[in-house]
């Protein structure tokens, strides 16, 4: 602990220095000082993110060839079989574990769960994405040992070795890519299912981040998901009646879109233009600039922005929480029902709150998509029906939108509408008028 008199002296010296700076500096120098403080804050947050990555991740080469990825899944299947046999042999000699039910699935051991998590983090790509989607299911859906192991999968992937990382950069940006930056940090800020993020400094002093895609993941989406599903079905990991094929179909579609960084580049520019054209939103939201000379099909460069993940706002004062929550609700309604263009990935890390400037920085537009007017018409009526507890309208719009066929038994229709009413509760809550204002102003094209 620093002695109090040292703290007081330090505070006095800082005050004297500030007075001297104000007396000697013109407005341009002050602007530079503020900018410098911002860079220090950004650098500190980047170091904190890297420290978190170090605690969680390992450096392992991404299997990039079709054969390498097939062999990776074959190795996973073989390791699960080996682990199961070894566990069964052990139980033969020592007897079953205490509390183990008679109907115990031999594949569902903690060791096998850890093997699955390790393999997904090493393979990355669509398989890891599907594992992350499964990890957010209700805790009663997955066996507890697999739920715990998949929590680590959700935290992130392993990272590429430096040699593999540099090969991707050369292939995408050319052999002289490093000449375009003044500084590049080979240690990643984060690693996800399809790529990892690195910080860099441009020659003009701007700090940027480069999202670099893992090699081979884009062309192996279909086979990765199918191979993982085979293993899941053989091991009987999921309960009967859980149609994981639907989640797999969504994962394939999302991954194909998110692997196209040229699409994300265009989506980020489009979203930035929408924000800046809105007099209210441009004061409280910010979309970072993209950097064309450092972007390609598998590399996306963007301005580095400060802020904490939006879930951290829960620890801030209530007035900040209320304000941020209201902004996000306004943004969601504007995206869907006015722009009909939405960033559909609700990851906490895609919304960064900068408390110093009271700004919400929006990042990661790989899952941004447009919606046709007829769909939005029906969807808005669907949400309104849920909020007003209109059962007949919920069923009608659900059929129009494809959530129902219309041939379901009464018990299923009842369960569906009750679930819809729960979804509509936040929009119908006392004091929540934003949604109904949006509904009243909306111009419907269809009935």
The pLDDT tens digits of the residues spanning 308-333 come to: 999 999 999 999 999 999 999 899 99
Is pLDDT larger for residue 55 or for residue 52?
52
CA distance 164 to 64: 10
Q: What is the pLDDT of residue 355?
A: 94
Residue 78 is encoded by which pair of tokens?
């073989």
Torsion sign, CA atoms 260, 263, 269, 272 = negative
Q: What is the pLDDT of residue 20?
A: 40
Confidence of residue 26 (pLDDT cuts 50, 70, 90): very low
Does residue 119 carry a pLDDT above 80? no
Q: CA dihedral defined by 313, 318, 320, 324, rounded to 10 degrees?
A: 70
Q: What is the pLDDT of residue 14?
A: 46
CA distance 304 to 208: 4
Q: What is the pLDDT of residue 17?
A: 42
Q: Mean pLDDT, the chain, as a whole number? A: 78
Q: Are 344 and 413 in contact (CB under 8 A)?
A: no
Q: What is the pLDDT of residue 88?
A: 54
Domain-wise residue ranges, the chain: 4-41, 66-96+106-157+217-258, 162-213+260-370, 373-441
3-state DSSP helix/strand/coil % of the chain, to nearest 5:
60, 10, 30
CA distance 153 to 157: 7
What is the homologous superfamily of the domain 162-213+260-370 according to CATH? Answer: Transferase(Phosphotransferase) domain 1 (1.10.510.10)
- Which of 185, 323, 345, 364 is catalytic? The answer is 345
Question: SS in 3 state form for 265-332?
Answer: HHHHHHHHHHHHCCCCHHHCEECCCECHHHCCCCEEEEECCCCEEHHHHHHCCHHHHHHHHHHHHHHH
Does residue 374 carry a pLDDT above 70? yes
* Among the listed residues 146, 198, 129, 137, the one whose alpha carbon sits nearest the alpha carbon of residue 345: 129
Query: How large is the average pLDDT for residues 179-197?
Result: 90
End-to-end CA distance of the chain: 69
Residue 196 is encoded by which pair of tokens?
């990892």
CA distance 87 to 96: 10
Does residue 33 carry a pLDDT above 90? no
Residue-wise pLDDT for 415-432, tens only, equals 999 999 998 988 887 667
Q: What is the pLDDT of residue 161?
A: 86
Residues near 406 by beta carbon (within 8 Å), at least 6 away in sequence: 395, 399
Residues near 114 by beta carbon (within 8 Å), at least 6 away in sequence: 149
Known catalytic residue at 185: no
């Amino acid at each position: 602990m620093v002695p109090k008199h040292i703290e007081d002296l330090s505070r006095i010296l800082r005050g004297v220095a500030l007075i001297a700076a104000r007396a000697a500096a013109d407005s341009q120098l002050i602007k530079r000082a503020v900018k410098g403080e911002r860079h220090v804050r950004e650098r500190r947050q980047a170091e904190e993110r890297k420290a978190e990555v170090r605690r969680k991740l390992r450096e392992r080469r991404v299997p990039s060839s079709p054969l390498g990825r097939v062999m990776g899944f074959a190795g996973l299947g073989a390791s699960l079989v080996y682990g199961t046999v070894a566990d069964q042999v052990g139980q033969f000699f020592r007897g079953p574990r205490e509390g183990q039910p008679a109907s115990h699935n031999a594949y569902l051991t903690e060791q096998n769960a850890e093997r699955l998590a390790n393999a997904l983090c090493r393979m990355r790509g669509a398989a890891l994405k599907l594992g992350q989607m499964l990890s957010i299911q209700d805790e009663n859906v997955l066996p507890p040992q697999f739920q715990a192991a998949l929590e680590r999968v959700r935290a992130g992937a392993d990272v590429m070795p430096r040699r593999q990382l540099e090969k991707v950069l050369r292939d995408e940006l050319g052999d002289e890519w490093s000449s375009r930056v003044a500084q590049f940090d080979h240690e990643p800020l984060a690693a996800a299912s399809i790529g990892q993020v690195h910080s860099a400094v441009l020659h003009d002093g701007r700090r940027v981040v480069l999202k670099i895609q893992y090699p081979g993941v884009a062309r192996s989406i279909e086979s990765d998901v199918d191979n993982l599903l085979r293993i899941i079905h053989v091991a009987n990991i999921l309960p009967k009646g859980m149609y994981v094929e639907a989640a797999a179909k969504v994962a394939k579609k999302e991954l194909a879109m998110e692997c196209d960084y040229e699409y994300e580049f265009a989506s980020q520019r489009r979203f930035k233009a929408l924000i800046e054209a809105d007099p209210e939103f441009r004061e409280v939201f910010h979309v970072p600039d993209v950097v064309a000379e450092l972007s390609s099909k598998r590399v996306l460069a963007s301005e580095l922005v400060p802020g904490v993940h939006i879930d951290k706002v829960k620890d801030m004062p209530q007035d900040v929480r209320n304000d941020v929550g209201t902004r996000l609700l306004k943004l969601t309604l504007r995206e869907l029902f006015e722009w009909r263009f939405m960033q559909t990935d609700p990851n906490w890390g895609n919304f960064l709150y900068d408390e110093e400037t009271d700004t919400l920085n929006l990042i990661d537009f790989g899952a941004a998509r447009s919606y046709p007017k007829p769909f939005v018409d029906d969807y808005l009526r669907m949400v309104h029906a849920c909020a007003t507890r209109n059962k007949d309208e919920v069923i009608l719009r659900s059929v129009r939108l494809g959530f129902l066929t219309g041939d379901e038994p009464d018990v299923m229709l009842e369960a569906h509408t009750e679930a819809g009413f729960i979804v509509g509760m936040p929009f119908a809550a006392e004091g929540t008028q934003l949604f109904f204002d949006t509904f009243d102003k909306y111009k419907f094209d269809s009935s």
